[in-house]
Amino acid sequence: MAFIRHLRSAAPTTAVSAGFLAVLIGFTSSVAVVFTAAKAAGATSAELTSWVFALGVGMGVTCIGLSLRYRAPVVTAWSTPGAALLATGLQGVTMAQAVGAFLLSAVLIAISGVTGWFERIMNRIPVPLASALLAGVLLQFGTELFTQMELNGAVAVPMFLAYLAGRRWFPRYAVVAALAVGVAATAWQGSWKLDGFELALAEPSFVRPEFDWQVLVGVGLPLFAVTMASQNLPGVAVLRNAGYATPISPLLTWTGTVNAVLAPFGCFGLNLAAITAAICSGEAAHPDPGKRYVAGVWTGVFYLLVGLFGGTVGWLLTAMPPALVLGIAGIGLLGTIGSSLTSALRDDRLREPAVVTLLATASGFTLFGIGSTFWGLLAGVLTLAVGDLARRGRGDTTAAEEPTRSPDAAEEPTRSPDAAEEPTRSPDAAEAARSS
């Protein structure tokens, strides 16, 4: 019995399934972009497998280590916008020169962690704006669930109905039930691509870096900027929205350092995850916020399997039908989208800047190779600044005394995960709690 209790504590079903979903969605949603980037640099079949190995091991090690260290669901991912940038920027570049650019970006990320400048900026961003940023990032995944009902209703509709039934009778396993129904429906359709299976361990391929100043400036610096603005920024927003006061600088230092070590094997960009982290930091991962770090650990375990088995696991994940992947992504993120919107819109003074941030982020707008997460946040901050200036012009200074922090953030700036059991409760719920 003691062994069973220990097993349930270390591997609760909801945390394991959340980790699996995070890897499933994170890998299948953008692996094609990574393959395109590798081929742009002239990667051989062995080097392509090595890229999967390096990325899988890097994400696995950082997810497990950082989640255990900070007792928070710290989930890392590869830089999807960075991969998209590489797909065009590595044309005519040798693999050795590409590795040099990877190293530069990784070192700059580590330096940003050591100096702490990025965390200082993030600490001045109001919580509602960070929540709106997260909601904008996740919104497309929520709407994709219903888009799939039109494109492949035989899969998406039963999944959604299974989720609703689960919410009624077994809420902790509602997402797992939806996944099981989706697998059954796609198997019945015969939409899995099961040809070309081969079981084999990945073999890392070392590439000696070359430092060409044109490639460093044209690829390395943009890769760093895109990763920080489009990936680490919403990644921090996920942790803050879930109520975790995890220090950001050490996370950047470690992801940058691990990235630099694995860069010669094809690890082009490690960063804090947003979408997959939202899956592991929500209530579906574990009812106790203080134990959701277990979902981050299991995410790392599954990523390690992806890295160690390289092409085999990559083949399995890419064989999954799009309707299954997109459907389960939308279902798994429903709770996080709802809590993000609640947090974003609860402050009257910050409501308009939050809406601007939400809409601009959800638009997918890209400028200078930088995605809408950065521009959405910038638009929200500008809206907030203009509103505060207008209030000062009218002589209303009380509402603008602390333009960079929400009231809740000012009260508890250093909440621990254990103390953040209800990070997204509404004002009515908070009032009821105080009066009880």
**Rounded distance between C-alpha atoms, residue 54 and residue 243, angstroms:** 31
> Is the model more confident about 47 or about 291?
291
Tokens read off for 395: 């002589």
**Banded model confidence at residue 157, pLDDT cuts 50, 70, 90:** very high
Angle at 147 between CA 142 and CA 152, to 5 degrees: 125
- Comparing 22-36, 333-347, 376-390, 395-409, which segment has the lowest mean pLDDT? 395-409
**Rounded distance between C-alpha atoms, residue 359 and residue 344, angstroms:** 12
pLDDT of residue 426: 43
**Banded model confidence at residue 416, pLDDT cuts 50, 70, 90:** very low
Is the predicted pLDDT of residue 409 greater than 50, yes or no? no
pLDDT of residue 44: 81
pLDDT of residue 355: 93
Predicted confidence (pLDDT) per residue in 255-307, tens digit: 999 999 999 998 998 999 988 888 898 888 888 888 999 999 999 999 998 88
Is the predicted pLDDT of residue 369 greater than 70, yes or no? no
pLDDT of residue 333: 76
Phi, psi (rounded to 5 degrees) for 77: -155, 170
Is the predicted pLDDT of residue 436 greater than 80, yes or no? no
**Banded model confidence at residue 75, pLDDT cuts 50, 70, 90:** very high
CA 31 → CA 34, 48, 177, 261, distances in Å?
Answer: 5, 11, 26, 22
Is the predicted pLDDT of residue 152 greater than 50, yes or no? yes
pLDDT of residue 404: 43
The gap from C-alpha 25 to its chain's centroid, in whole angstroms, comes to 10
Is the predicted pLDDT of residue 87 greater than 70, yes or no? yes
Is the predicted pLDDT of residue 173 greater than 70, yes or no? yes
Among the listed residues 379, 343, 339, the one whose alpha carbon sits nearest the alpha carbon of residue 363: 379
What percent of the chain is modeled with pLDDT above 90?
25
Predicted confidence (pLDDT) per residue in 214-251, tens digit: 888 888 887 887 788 778 888 888 898 888 989 999 99
